[in-house]
Amino acid sequence: MLGDDEILTVTLPDSAAGLRLDRALAEALPSLSRERLKSLIKGGRVIDARGSILWDPAAKAAPPTTIEIRLPATLPAHNPAQDLDLVIAYEDEHLIVIDKPAGMVVHPAAGNLDGTMVNALLHHCAGQLSGIGGVARPGIVHRIDKDTSGLIVAAKHDKAHEGLAKQFAAHSIDRRYLALATGRPMPANGTVDAALGRSATHRKKMAVVAAGRGKHAITHYRTIEPLRDATLIECRLETGRTHQVRVHMAHIGHPLVGDPVYGRARKPLSDVLKACNFARQALHAAHLGFIHPVNGNSIALDSELPADMRELIDELRV
């Protein structure tokens, strides 16, 4: 509810007896994260049935009791909502998974203030966003590059955002990419364990750096199909660093086909790319698996290769 405080009323069940107040309320109100509830309690926005303000998140709940929570007005997002085409792989009242096309930027930034996935989600999810940190916006917990296609998840409220973020931080999300690597990776299946950080010579690029300088990064790859001058591989990420697959494959001498930053195609591969009008890194976020942050269900989603990568693979088949 925009413009005025929204008042939520909840009656704590007997099972909440002895729990911390913030935890009891979080279990009773699945759309609000425990951290958000702590902030509301400390802000004097939680009131018991007698009209007394409950200031202490650690106070023991004493059910049955009815508690009133005054949510401050959710601020509208400053980014415009835009009616853009979205392919939705999964959606419920808590989160949404988009199958992003290559060419779409995820989040507005300098040079890309509109036409992004966030702009599209603000339109699609109008009236469904309870506010991430008090702002009516989708909670983006991970990103994929503009010219990478595939699956990306966004939260609709604080609790879903917090639960997804914890899984990403714990590296428990199952993320698998399909990619075309130049040449023949040897061994055919392997692991790249190399820290990533900003390149010392090109600030817009990432690079493999000494362990103490960068962030820990691990990519497991396996060969799916050898092709002419390239190989279709699957990359499973243990970590999710910026440009991880692209940098790791370039590091072992097999940059991704079409990658304009970390690789350069040579003839005859460059001729095939030109004939197919293929001008991006051949990388697709094909699988996303996680535990639903609210109901605990296991979610596993797959996305088919986009048409441009399928056409390129057909041209490269021996």
Amino acid making up residue 129 = L
The predicted model gives 257-262 an average pLDDT of 95
Q: What does 271-310 look like in DSSP terms, one character per residue?
A: HHHHHTT--S--EEEEEEEEE-TTT--EEEEE-PPPHHHH
Task: Tell me which of 17-26, 219-228, 231-240, 268-277 is least confident.
Answer: 17-26
Joined together, the tokens standing for residue 297 give: 């269900």
Joined together, the tokens standing for residue 317 give: 């088949």
pLDDT band at 27 (very low <50, low <70, confident <90, very high): confident
Residues 220 and 234 sit within 8 Å (Cβ to Cβ): no
pLDDT digits (tens, 9 = 90+) for 62-90: 888 889 998 876 656 677 889 999 999 99
Joined together, the tokens standing for residue 190 give: 């392997």
Rounded distance between C-alpha atoms, residue 8 and residue 31, angstroms? 11
pLDDT digits (tens, 9 = 90+) for 44-53: 889 988 888 9
138: nearest Cα among 165, 118, 120, 160: 118
The predicted model gives 177-199 an average pLDDT of 96
The predicted model gives 234-244 an average pLDDT of 95
80: nearest Cα among 121, 125, 119, 137: 119
Is it the case that residue 253 has pLDDT exceeding 90?
A: yes
Give the pLDDT confidence score for residue 8 in this predicted structure.
85
Give the pLDDT confidence score for residue 92 in this predicted structure.
96
Rounded distance between C-alpha atoms, residue 46 and residue 39, angstroms? 10
pLDDT band at 3 (very low <50, low <70, confident <90, very high): very low
Q: Read off the DSSP letter of residue 247.
A: H
The SS3 call for residue 312 is helix
Burial class from Cβ neighbours inside 10 Å (0-12, 13-18, 19+) for residue 202 reads exposed
Q: Which residues are catalytic?
A: 145
